Copies of this chain bind each other. A is one copy, B any other.
Amino acid sequence: MLSTFSHKENSTVKVLRYIYDLINEGKLKPGSKLPAERKLAEELEVGRTHIRNAYAELEFYGIVKTYPQSGSMVAAIHHNALQGLISDIMSIENYDFLSLVETRLILEMEAARLACERADDKDIEALKHAHQDYIDNFQTPHRVEKDMIFHRVIAQASRNDVIKSMLLIITPDILSHYVRKDFCSTPLPTDKHEHQIIIDAIESRSSSKAVAAMRLHLDRLYTFAKNKKEEKFQ
Contacts and interface: CB of A to CB of B under 8 A. Distances in A.
A200 to B, nearest CB: 23
A44 interface: no
Nearest to A102: B160
Interface string A50-88: 000000100111110000100000010110110011001
B160 A99 contact: yes
A21 interface: no
A204 interface: no
Interface string A145-173: 11011001000000111111110111111
A18 B100 CA distance: 32
B103 A166 contact: yes
Contacts of A148: 77, 81
Interface string A91-111: 110011011101100110010
A38 interface: no
B106 A75 contact: no
Nearest to A105: B110
B62 A1 contact: yes
A186 interface: no
A72 to B, nearest CB: 13
29 contacts: A2-B60, A2-B62, A2-B165, A4-B59, A4-B60, A7-B68, A61-B168, A78-B146, A80-B149, A88-B164, A88-B168, A89-B168, A91-B161, A92-B161, A95-B162, A95-B165, A96-B161, A99-B159, A99-B160, A99-B161, A99-B163, A100-B162, A102-B110, A102-B114, A102-B160, A103-B163, A106-B106, A106-B110, A162-B170
